Chain A
């Protein structure tokens, strides 16, 4: 049959990791992504890096957005990235980080495999546009 119509939709995991109880930003992003037509899975609060890795692998999301406001990004993000690599999921999952990340840490995160870091004041539209343009081709 020739008439296979592809129905692709961008899937995102919005993840809160570590001891950080502030999920307002994650909720706003989840809602905005939904309204942009993405399918959003929200991890819930206080997840361990392993849990995020498991969810990313099983859900086969295009985009993993990690929200961190605790300052522990240099510890937590590499753990997640390593986990994704272990399951061959890193190369076609775009990892984003949002939250309060000092400028001097941004480059390091990017070296580790994070596609972009969105700090305070980033507009929602900018984030959505970035995802639309950069979601991995599969």
Chain B
């Protein structure tokens, strides 16, 4: 790490807001040296509760996050908020409008709100989100709230980053067939029926309740609410432990809120606290944390290998020339991919290096 980054790290740990802001920018921009910086941050993390809020566009996520932050502040806890909005697929530009809704805590620098563009990522978060959360954790925030992009049915990256996930379901989100579908409703640790003063709220609560009960009674691996290993999508074997294991003990509660009025926010906070207690007592927290780090290691490696191969492609004259060769029928994509990978595999075989060791105790 160079001297400037060391100073930045020192300032961040000392609680300078500007240093935190700049660190997150470096992470977002992947500025030179950001990896060393994040690597240093790890030693100072692990104390914050990370809460994810997701739901459809206009469900009231930002407003609820605002009230949540206010309530935590009243309890004397410091709060970090990462709010993600989509970026344009055409220009890469974005209008980040979550901050407008977060007016309750204005003037209080102990609520650190950071708006992020998804920068082309489709899972509801940006690639920099997890590392930005690390930065806020190291900074000393007690609670970190992540607000995802307005989500449809399949934006479930949030389970890989948050300890507890709340899914907002506004009244009138479709009939009971919608609740049968896989995806976002499976990842909720807490359901929030926001805008509960609207007509149809009772029915939505009822349908969610039926869905949860269906999942519990079935007994064939139907984790209706909790996000176990299957949601992480990495290890199929873990499926079995998910059913009888500790994570089977949590039934997601349904909380009704009217975020604009602040109604139900206390109940929501209690539900999140209950879930936190459950995570700690059942050992699920350790399990989740482990899965999260496994995912992070894989993502990093994937990106690094990808970058190496991109360089390789450039050396071979760029992907366009190769694509043109395929178009002319001279070769095919599989052959090219094999050709690019062969030397890498050969290297790995020859090296037999053992740098991938567990750190000794």
Contact = CB atoms under 8 A, between A and B. Distances in A.
Given A44-B100, A51-B107, A58-B17, A9 B117 contact: yes
Contacts of B93: 33-40
A31 B113 CA distance: 22
Interface in B306-353: 307-308, 310-311
A87 B310 CA distance: 40
A58 B113 CA distance: 7
Interface in A43-98: 43-44, 48, 50-51, 54-55, 57-60, 87-89
Say which size band chain B's interface belongs to.
Answer: 35 or more
Interface in A16-36: 30-31, 33-36
B107 A41 contact: no
A43 B100 contact: yes
A36 to B, nearest CB: 6
Counting chain B CB atoms within 10 Å of each CB, which of A11, A36, A41 scores highest? A41
Contact of A54 (B31, B107, B308): B107
A123 interface: no
Interface residues of A, number: 36
A6 B95 contact: no
A42 interface: yes
Contacts of B87: 39
B115 A41 contact: yes
A133 interface: no
B21 A58 contact: yes
Interface stretch (B22-30, B70-78, B197-205, B221-229): B22-30
B258 interface: no
B106 interface: yes
Given A42-B95, A44-B100, A51-B107, A8 B29 contact: yes
B191 interface: no
B107 A50 contact: yes
Interface in B73-124: 87-88, 91-97, 99-100, 103, 106-107, 109, 112-115, 117, 119
B107 A87 contact: no
A34 B304 contact: no
B302 interface: no
Contacts of A43: 99-100
Given A35-B93, A37-B93, A58-B113, A7 B107 contact: no
B91 A36 contact: yes
B29 A7 contact: yes
A6 B107 contact: no
Given A33-B93, A41-B99, A58-B114, A1 B304 contact: yes
A60 B35 contact: no
A48 B91 CA distance: 32
B18 interface: yes
22 contacts: A1-B304, A4-B30, A4-B307, A5-B30, A7-B29, A8-B29, A9-B117, A39-B96, A40-B93, A40-B94, A41-B96, A41-B97, A42-B96, A42-B99, A42-B100, A43-B100, A50-B107, A54-B107, A55-B113, A60-B21, A60-B22, A138-B25
